Amino acid sequence: MMTMKRLVVWMAAAGLSAALTTAVVLYLQGFNEHGLGAALFVTGRLAFLAFWPSYCGAALVIVFGAAFVPLQRRAREFGLAFAAIIAVHSLLVLWLTLIGAPPGRTIFLEFGIALGWTVLLTVLSFNNLHQWLGRRGWRAVKFLGMNYIAYVFALDFTRDPFGGGLKHWLEYVPFAVLSIVGPCMRLLAFLQRRGELATIH
Ligand code: HEM
C-alpha cells in the first residue's frame, strides 16, 4: 500500500511539474501553434530526463558500482513519472490537432507506437498486473517497450544535432549524447554480466 501511495505521489509531482512548465511556456510563447510547439519541445525533454534513469539505472550499477543504487531503486518511480509527463505531452498534441495543426503522419506513427508502449508498461506496472505474464514474459515486454522508447528519443535527438548554431547545439547535443550513452550502458552491463556468468560456470 505504501509503495502504491509513493508511486501515485511521484506521478502526480511529475505531471504537475510538466503542467506548470507548460503553462509558463504557453504564457511566454503564446497560446497558439508556436507556443504549443515550444511546450512539446520542453515536455519532450522533461520526459526524457525522467525516462533515462529508469532505462539505464540498473545498468549503471553493474558498470560503475553501488553509487548508482539510488537510481536503480527508483527505476519504477522514474518510469511512472515519465508516463505522467507524456500524458501532458499527449494533451498538447491533442490541443494542436484540435486547432487544425496536427503533427505529420511519420510523427504520429513513430511517437504513437512509443505512446502505446508507455500506456502498456504503465498499466502493467500497477498492482503487479505484470505477474500474469510471468517473469520472462514481463522482462521481454519491458525490454521491447523500453528499447523502442529509447530508440524514438535517440532518433529525434540525433537527427541534426549540429545544425542551426549554438542554441540548437545546446538544445540537442546533451540529449543526443545521453540518448546514445543509455543503450551503450545497457549493452556494457549485459556483456559484463555474461562475462561474470561465464567465469562462474
Ligand atoms: C512516449 C511517447 C512520446 C515521446 C517519448 C515523445 C518525445 C518527444 C520529444 C523528445 C520531443 C522534442 C522534439 C525535439 O525537440 O526535436 C517531442 C516533440 C513533439 N512530439 Fe512527442 N513524444 C511522444 C508522444 C508523442 C505523440 C503521441 C505525438 C503525436 C502523435 C507527439 C508529437 C510531438 C510533436 C508534434 C512534437 C514537436 C516536434 C517539433 O516541433 O519538432 N509526441 N516529443
Pocket residue to mutate for ligand 1, from 33, 40, 49, 98, most atoms within 8 A of Cβ: 40
**Predicted confidence (pLDDT) per residue in 151-176, tens digit:** 999 999 999 877 778 999 999 999 99
Minimum CA distance residue for ligand 1 atom 7: 44
* Alpha-carbon span 146 to 179, nearest angstrom: 12
pLDDT tens-digit series, residues 46-100: 999 999 999 999 999 999 999 999 999 999 999 999 999 999 999 999 999 999 9
Residue whose C-alpha is closest to residue 144's, from 173, 168, 166, 118: 118
| Domain boundaries, position 54 | 2-200
Kindly give, in sequence order, each residue whose CB lies less than 8 Å from that of residue 77, ignoring residues fewer than 6 positions away. 6, 7, 10, 54
Rounded Cα gap, residues 141 and 61, in angstroms: 22
CA of 37 to the centre of ligand 1 (A): 9
**Atom 36 in ligand 1: residue holding the nearest Cα:** 40
Query: Which atom of ligand 1 lies at the shortest distance from residue 175's CA?
Result: 10
Residue pair 84/15 in contact (Cβ under 8 Å)? The answer is: yes
Q: How many domains does the chain have?
A: 1
Distance CA 40, CA 118 (A): 17
Quick one: which atom of ligand 1 is closest to the CA of 102?
A: 35
Q: List pLDDT tens digits, range 18-35.
A: 999 999 999 999 999 999
